[in-house]
Amino acid sequence: MTNILPEKSENHEVESTVSHFFKEFKIGTLLNRANVKKTRGVSPVVLFQFLFTLVFTSKSGNQAIL
């Protein structure tokens, strides 16, 4: 059980850093200019942040959903 808590803390730090990066470099605006738009479902920015976070937490998409 003690192994899970540091991992969650580390993941939160990565998510915070990725979020800051997206705001700092206005990734949402860049996606909009590239014509990446929402038709339904999840916002493209949220989706890209999720995928970007997966790269730095070394998890697959299946592991992150659980």
Sign of CA dihedral 24, 29, 34, 35: positive
Residue 57 — pLDDT band, cuts 50, 70, 90?
Answer: confident
Q: Is the pLDDT of residue 63 over 80?
A: no
Confidence label for 36 from pLDDT (cuts 50, 70 and 90): very high
Mean of pLDDT values over 14-42: 93
Mean pLDDT over 35-50 rounds to 92
pTM metric for this prediction:
0.70
- Is residue 21 over pLDDT 80? yes
Cα Rg, the chain, nearest whole Å = 14
CA distance 45 to 36: 9
Token pair for 9: 């803390």
